[in-house]
A and B are shown apart, each in its own frame.
Chain A
Amino acid sequence: MGFRFDLFIVLIAVLSVPVLSDLILSKVDRRIDLTSQVVRITSTLKVENSGNDPVSEVLLAFPEHQEKNLAYLTASFREGKGKGKGSTSSLPVEVVHPQGMPPALVFYSVSLPKGLGKGESLTLDVLVVFTHSLKPFPKEITQADFQLVVFQDSGHYLSPYEVKFQSLSVKLPDARIESYTRLENTKTVGSEIKYGPYENHPPFSYSPIVVHFEQNQPFAVAQQLVREIEISHWGNVQVTEHYKLIHAGAQSKGEFSRLDYQARPHVRGASAFRHLVAKLPPRAHSVYFRDEIGNISTSHLWGDLKKTELEIEPRYPMFGGWKTSFFIGYGLPLQDFLFESGGKRFLNITFGCPMNEVVIDNLIVKVVLPEGSRDISVSAPFAVKQWQETKLSHLDVVGRPVVVLEKTNVVPEHDQHFQVYYKFNNISLLREPLMLISGFFFLFVTCIVYMHVDMSISKSSASYVMKLLWEEVQAAIQQVHDIISRCLSIHDKLEASLRDLARTGDVQACKAARKASDGQLKELSKELRPLLAFLQSSPQAAQILPKVEELVAKERELQEKLMLKHTTVADSYEKKSGGKEIENRIASQQQKIVALRQEVDDLLDYIDEI
């Protein structure tokens, strides 16, 4: 612990600096909470003005090595003399560099609401949170070892003012205390170490104390956390949080035995942590917990009206120095977080990470506003680095404005609400649906146009003319085909009438049918004539023409035969011939008819295929 001595020397040099102003700290009460990985120091300062001039600021001093781990500092001012009474209001705090101060110190100035007059006093509550201030010692432990950490601070309150009366208590977790520095008036009560009370210490008095104790709380540190908050005016706020997590405690060395860990997890793996709990806002939905290789199935979710709790368990237990990365995402109802005031909308949502006791080295919060938002401004409760980006997402044209806030060293105390103000026109909401609708509309229109427009390059080219002609021929052939089929159906009707005749013996009906069909057939043959003429004239049809002609000829023949048969049968019925006789008479015709019919059908099929 060499550096403790260095510090000592520096501070001894510091001690000789003159007093800055006439303030006196009449009573300082400090409580250091070491039960988690973050160090929380709560100090109650009773400030008295012993000088003549009113004082409007109080300086707080921190050694540089401590200050670089300082994550959070708030000072609140308590009105009234009584303890715990009266309203508290936090005061503005800023870094100052007063002249003539010792070099290894950093000063923060707390501005008082009104000047402190002569002889007046007030009480300040100062909460300071440090990260990475518990140093694991030893630095490497095995699976079976407990984790020991070292904490150091000053036994006396380091201040540029004279301190009249002070006391300090250090709260440790309920576990072994390896060692601690003993000053006068030191005693331990349970897991608490009490220093003091000490009286009348000059400015910049410093007496280092070191506490070495067992600390098995999770040392979960997110080296980087990117929170993306995406607002959809369709009713959802989507939050995605990308974690890069490390166990920042003592490095694990040697073997990891799952057997030991499973058999006695609290002994063999005491310093490891298995799960984290994220407190999500109420009515969070669509919660997921994944990493780059897929879903992580070890998570539990439960919720009530006030909160939603998500217990996540990384893929493996986190031992010292082990890293992991994952992301969680959830949707939130828009009306809980988006409000409107004075023509502007604003998002009001928490800044920090929803997990307890996770320290974040570098936190980036991105707020993705809907496309078309204007006049963007941010109000954050503490200083953050801030810039703007654009993000192209679902069907965006110009991109969505993104407000990026960056902050290092974030502790749970930073989990406060911040606001993003912007202007947004509701009509922009309809842009994307309209875009889709018009896109599909034009697609269909193009299809229709394409189907109806003749796309050939030249209307006079030979092949195009050929094609047109060929289409005409095809149409003609199709018509011929139709006519022939209709003829055939008329034939079938005739046949049917013959059968009816055989059943009922009604010769008149049969003859009527005959007459009707005769008329129809005549008409059909009339229709057929121009078509045939066209086919004969067309050179395109040369190939197919013989077949068509053959078809027509055959059909005519068939027609004649059928008529013949029909007449014969009808006549026979008139003459009341017997069934057998009729059958004999038409037998030969019947055969021919069947054969012809067969041929016609074949030809029809053939033409049909063309």
Chain B
Amino acid sequence: MAASEDSNQSKIRTAFGGVLAFFILVLIGVLAFSIRLFSVIKYESVIHEFDPYFNYRVTQFLTKNGIYDFWNWFDDRTWYPLGRVIGGTVYPGLTLTAGSIWWILNSLNIPLSVETVCVFTAPIFSANAAWATYLLTKEVKGTGAGLTAAALLAMVPSYISRSVAGSYDNEAVAIFALIFTFYLYIKTLNTGSLFYATLNAIAYFYMVCSWGGYTFIINLIPMHVLLCIVTGRYSSRLYIAYAPLVVLGTLLAALVPVVGFNAVMTSEHFASFLVFIIIHVVALVYYIKGILSPKMFKVAVTLVVSVGLVVCCAVVAVLIALVASSPTKGWSGRSLSLLDPTYASKYIPIIASVSEHQPPTWPSYFMDINVLAFLVPAGIVACFLPLSDASSFVVLYIVTSVYFSGVMVRLMLVLAPAACILSGIALSEAFDVLTRSIKFQLPGLAENSQIDAGDTTSSSVVTQDDAAKTNKNEDTLKERPSRKNRKKEKEHVEKTSIKSQIKKRLLVLPLEASVAAIFLLVLLGAFYVVHCVWAAAEAYSAPSIVLTSHSHDGLHVFDDFREAYAWLRHNTEVDDKVASWWDYGYQTTAMANRTVIVDNNTWNNTHIATVGTAMSSPEKAAWEIFNSLDVKYVLVVFGGLVGYPSDDINKFLWMVRIGGGVFPHIREPDYLRDGQYRVDSQATPTMLNCLMYKLSYFRFVETDGKAFDRVRRTEIGKKHFKLTHFEEVFTTHHWMVRIYKLKPPKNRIRVKTKKSKSKASSTTSSKRSGKRKKNPWQ
């Protein structure tokens, strides 16, 4: 019969939709992977930037020495002479992931190098993240929205910036872990299944392993739970979604060495415990309400409220006491600067000196999430139609992540998935409405709608939902042409039909308007795609250790960093210590395999301040500091010859600030002329005599005769000078990296100078006392 045929057809259509959705997902995965390969194609398969080099080095160690040595690894090649306990201070998720991928491949006799695996870990995991987004959005708003969101996430520039091939950083896997944890939470919330709750705790554990951003999860989920309780949406599903997560998750988190007891001791985690208590109280109340008669319940409420108040007071008191007992109120510096955006610049120059910890500018929003910024509000509206537990979570997610991204550029990364999910919902709903309106109004479609329905719906991104709905739609379709002919009674019919149809079918827009809107939406999507491809190809693919510039005679490659590191690696003793500003620490240990004094881990402010002080001191004092640290080579990055802006002279004020923060004789005003930082003839003598200046500009004047610095766009102040305690041992092709060696102390001359020195010092001391106010070092 027709009816059974109908149901058969809808079954086939659903199956077809499922297969189609599967293939779309596969393609989305391919897209997410391949859009990130620009860096490999345009440059080469190489690890990027700074932190990835550390991760790469750790992975190499892991694959070479095994997991137990990895946990116990004490690295004596950094932070000389302190060293660093790597196993206990690193988030191991990324390294373990890449290490196990490498291990699996090698046990299958696929001999990929560790480097190759590391380079391609991020693209692989962004494909995973896109699939996780699909799952999450599907739980919230159905398959169509899920596919759209996954497609958007596959190419959102903000995420691309952290996950191009070679960008082997924690964020690459952490975003996947974040989305997947949220998906499992929502899934548990929707199903109330303990199975998913357990998986959720494991996913949370993976997230804790991967990234410090796990605190976002452990604060956002309690917030959502609280929101649900407050809005009267408490259910047993909510309890199952939350309680196991806190218990298992905290236990698992404490297993990660870098977190350890922080999982129960720091304020970042307290919110979850508080909500854990609250949800139990609420659960108790609901239970009692169920077993008591209303009258008894009233009595019980008064009893519980009074007891509960006491308990709450006690808990709050304990919490306050705990929090107050720690100096930072239990919050780490980075978290505090999240809550109070001005905190870092006030107290921790080392956090403030990192560009990715600055607040973003408006253009960077457009750059990083592009048209999603406009679609998000529509998505929020769609989430309220109707509001479910899941959609309220998404709304909460976007609101908090917008705030955090406003504090730190880096956290734009957390915003991106939320923006994609909401934009996916918005786009999918919009397409849903518009295509349906068109279908109602296209007369030709009415007859063969049954056959075409599957195809037309699949051509829009929405598949399954529509396929299921087509049954309902057909009925309305059939009456449509007849209605069109009766224009006189149109109003009347509309009234009745509106009332007789389901609410969902109310949103019928005029044909022309919906066609135009679809066209505009497609245009918007096309613009987004173009922008994302551009961002992936041009903006975010540069590995930053290799620079290129296009000149009239073709591509010019600046490979100076690796030139210098390779020189250090092959032409210095294996135990020589190299001092440089901390930015280059990870690269030096990984690429040059030499011991460094400070690196990008920045765990010891004093040590960094010592190097900063040395760099900002005059030669002699700097030599003494370096010599006391057993340093043999000093490496500076200098962009003045070719115009490379992020060189050490431009970072120099931070060295002064950080150095001055610990050693008060370094004072920032000494390096500034009228509050301005300059290196030309107007610069202060302190500036012109400090080590950084001298090492950067040594014999620079002889290149062009004028010593014109192309970064600062000025002629430098002091052009002709000699180094007495350092000698140049290597300078790269474009002068971007200069390496100096500390001259050994001269024994015989010292005896001679001892007399003259005392004389000289007596003479200079008078000079010194005259200048003392300006600078203690002169």
Which A positions have Cβ atoms within 8 angstroms of B?
254-259, 263, 291, 293-298, 315-316, 321-325, 392-397, 482, 485-486, 488-489, 492, 495-496, 499-500, 502-503, 590, 594, 597-598, 601
Instruction: Digitize B513-545: 1 where CB-to-A-CB distance is under 8 Å, 0 elsewhere.
Output: 000000000000000000000000000000001
Interface membership of B471, Cβ < 8 A: yes
Beyond A293-B591, A492-B479, A594-B499, whether A257 also contacts B570 by CB under 8 A is: no
Interface membership of B478, Cβ < 8 A: yes
Cβ 8 A contact of A499, one of B479, B702, B731: B479
A291 lies within 8 A of B729 (CB) = no
A277 vs B564: C-alpha distance when bound (angstroms): 23
Cβ–Cβ < 8 Å partners of A396 in chain B: 109
A529 vs B570: C-alpha distance when bound (angstroms): 88
Q: Closest chain B residue to A605 by CB distance?
A: B502
A392 vs B112: C-alpha distance when bound (angstroms): 12
A256 lies within 8 A of B482 (CB) = no
B502 lies within 8 A of A601 (CB) = yes
A393 vs B106: C-alpha distance when bound (angstroms): 9
A389 vs B111: C-alpha distance when bound (angstroms): 17
19 A-B residue pairs with Cβ-Cβ distance under 8 Å, sorted by A, are: A255-B728, A257-B728, A258-B731, A259-B703, A263-B702, A315-B559, A315-B563, A322-B570, A323-B570, A324-B566, A393-B109, A393-B111, A394-B110, A394-B111, A395-B109, A482-B3, A488-B475, A496-B482, A499-B483
B699 lies within 8 A of A291 (CB) = no
A296 vs B478: C-alpha distance when bound (angstroms): 69
A259 lies within 8 A of B478 (CB) = no
Distance from B498 Cβ to chain A, minimum over Cβ atoms (Å) = 10
Distance from A128 Cβ to chain B, minimum over Cβ atoms (Å) = 33
Instruction: Digitize B495-516: 1 where CB-to-A-CB distance is under 8 Å, 0 elsewhere.
Output: 0100110100000000000000
Interface membership of B494, Cβ < 8 A: no
Question: A interface, by DSSP: helix, strand, loop or mixed?
Answer: mixed
Distance from B42 Cβ to chain A, minimum over Cβ atoms (Å) = 12
Q: Closest chain B residue to A602 by CB distance?
A: B502
A259 vs B638: C-alpha distance when bound (angstroms): 14
A295 lies within 8 A of B46 (CB) = yes
Cβ–Cβ < 8 Å partners of A482 in chain B: 3, 7
B571 lies within 8 A of A258 (CB) = no
B728 lies within 8 A of A496 (CB) = no
B565 lies within 8 A of A293 (CB) = yes
15 further A-B contacts with Cβ under 8 Å, apart from A294-B45, A482-B7, are A256-B729, A257-B699, A258-B728, A259-B699, A263-B702, A293-B46, A293-B591, A294-B46, A295-B44, A296-B559, A315-B563, A393-B111, A492-B479, A492-B500, A502-B489
A597 vs B571: C-alpha distance when bound (angstroms): 87
Distance from B556 Cβ to chain A, minimum over Cβ atoms (Å) = 10
A294 lies within 8 A of B565 (CB) = no
A416 vs B46: C-alpha distance when bound (angstroms): 36
Interface membership of B73, Cβ < 8 A: no
Interface membership of B289, Cβ < 8 A: no
B731 lies within 8 A of A395 (CB) = no
A258 vs B728: C-alpha distance when bound (angstroms): 9
B471 lies within 8 A of A485 (CB) = yes
Interface membership of B730, Cβ < 8 A: yes
A590 lies within 8 A of B496 (CB) = yes
A293 vs B543: C-alpha distance when bound (angstroms): 13
Q: Closest chain A residue to B702 by CB distance?
A: A259
A315 lies within 8 A of B109 (CB) = no
Cβ 8 A contact of B482, one of A255, A489, A492, A500: A500
B111 lies within 8 A of A392 (CB) = yes
Which B positions have Cβ atoms within 8 angstroms of A?
3, 7, 44-46, 108-111, 471-472, 474-475, 478-479, 482-483, 485-486, 489, 493, 496, 499-500, 502, 545-546, 557, 559, 562-563, 565-567, 569-571, 591, 699, 702-703, 727-733, 735
Beyond A257-B728, A395-B110, whether A297 also contacts B733 by CB under 8 A is: no
Distance from B194 Cβ to chain A, minimum over Cβ atoms (Å) = 13
Beyond A256-B729, A258-B731, whether A316 also contacts B563 by CB under 8 A is: yes
Beyond A256-B731, A499-B479, A503-B486, whether A322 also contacts B571 by CB under 8 A is: yes
Cβ 8 A contact of A486, one of B3, B482, B496, B566: B3
Beyond A295-B46, A486-B3, whether A254 also contacts B727 by CB under 8 A is: yes
Cβ–Cβ < 8 Å partners of B567 in chain A: 315-316, 322
A489 vs B479: C-alpha distance when bound (angstroms): 11
B731 lies within 8 A of A294 (CB) = no
A296 vs B733: C-alpha distance when bound (angstroms): 13
Cβ–Cβ < 8 Å partners of B108 in chain A: 395
A489 vs B323: C-alpha distance when bound (angstroms): 65
A345 vs B557: C-alpha distance when bound (angstroms): 45
Q: Closest chain B residue to A604 by CB distance?
A: B502
Cβ–Cβ < 8 Å partners of B502 in chain A: 601
Distance from B416 Cβ to chain A, minimum over Cβ atoms (Å) = 29
Cβ 8 A contact of A258, one of B486, B557, B732: B732
Cβ–Cβ < 8 Å partners of B7 in chain A: 482
A476 vs B270: C-alpha distance when bound (angstroms): 48
A256 vs B485: C-alpha distance when bound (angstroms): 92
Cβ 8 A contact of B566, one of A257, A258, A315, A503: A315
Beyond A256-B728, A295-B44, A325-B570, whether A496 also contacts B565 by CB under 8 A is: no
Beyond A294-B46, A322-B570, A324-B566, whether A258 also contacts B735 by CB under 8 A is: yes
A486 vs B110: C-alpha distance when bound (angstroms): 58
The listed residue with most B CB atoms (<10 A of its CB), out of A315, A394, A396, is A315
Distance from B388 Cβ to chain A, minimum over Cβ atoms (Å) = 11
A324 vs B572: C-alpha distance when bound (angstroms): 11
B557 lies within 8 A of A297 (CB) = yes
B111 lies within 8 A of A293 (CB) = no
The listed residue with most B CB atoms (<10 A of its CB), out of A293, A322, A488, is A293
B482 lies within 8 A of A495 (CB) = no
A316 lies within 8 A of B730 (CB) = yes
Beyond A257-B731, A258-B733, whether A594 also contacts B500 by CB under 8 A is: yes
Cβ–Cβ < 8 Å partners of A485 in chain B: 471-472
Q: Closest chain B residue to A524 by CB distance?
A: B3
A533 vs B502: C-alpha distance when bound (angstroms): 29
Q: Closest chain A residue to B3 by CB distance?
A: A486
Beyond A393-B111, A594-B500, A601-B502, whether A255 also contacts B566 by CB under 8 A is: no
B727 lies within 8 A of A597 (CB) = no
Cβ–Cβ < 8 Å partners of B565 in chain A: 293
Cβ–Cβ < 8 Å partners of B46 in chain A: 293-295
A594 vs B500: C-alpha distance when bound (angstroms): 6
A594 vs B479: C-alpha distance when bound (angstroms): 17
A396 vs B702: C-alpha distance when bound (angstroms): 60
A396 vs B110: C-alpha distance when bound (angstroms): 8
Instruction: List 5 tightest A-B contacts by C-beta distance, closest first.
Output: A258-B731, A294-B46, A295-B44, A323-B570, A297-B557
Q: Closest chain B residue to A263 by CB distance?
A: B702
Cβ–Cβ < 8 Å partners of A291 in chain B: 566
A294 lies within 8 A of B562 (CB) = yes
Beyond A295-B44, A322-B570, whether A392 also contacts B109 by CB under 8 A is: yes
Distance from B480 Cβ to chain A, minimum over Cβ atoms (Å) = 10
B500 lies within 8 A of A394 (CB) = no
A4 vs B229: C-alpha distance when bound (angstroms): 98
Distance from A372 Cβ to chain B, minimum over Cβ atoms (Å) = 15
Cβ 8 A contact of B727, one of A255, A298, A393, A500: A255
A298 vs B559: C-alpha distance when bound (angstroms): 9
A254 vs B729: C-alpha distance when bound (angstroms): 8
A236 vs B691: C-alpha distance when bound (angstroms): 55
Q: Closest chain B residue to A489 by CB distance?
A: B475
A395 vs B106: C-alpha distance when bound (angstroms): 9
Cβ–Cβ < 8 Å partners of B569 in chain A: 293
A293 lies within 8 A of B482 (CB) = no
Cβ 8 A contact of B500, one of A298, A393, A395, A597: A597
A293 lies within 8 A of B729 (CB) = no
Q: Closest chain B residue to A486 by CB distance?
A: B3
Q: Closest chain B residue to A488 by CB distance?
A: B475
Distance from B724 Cβ to chain A, minimum over Cβ atoms (Å) = 13
B729 lies within 8 A of A255 (CB) = yes
The listed residue with most B CB atoms (<10 A of its CB), out of A255, A325, A396, A397, is A255
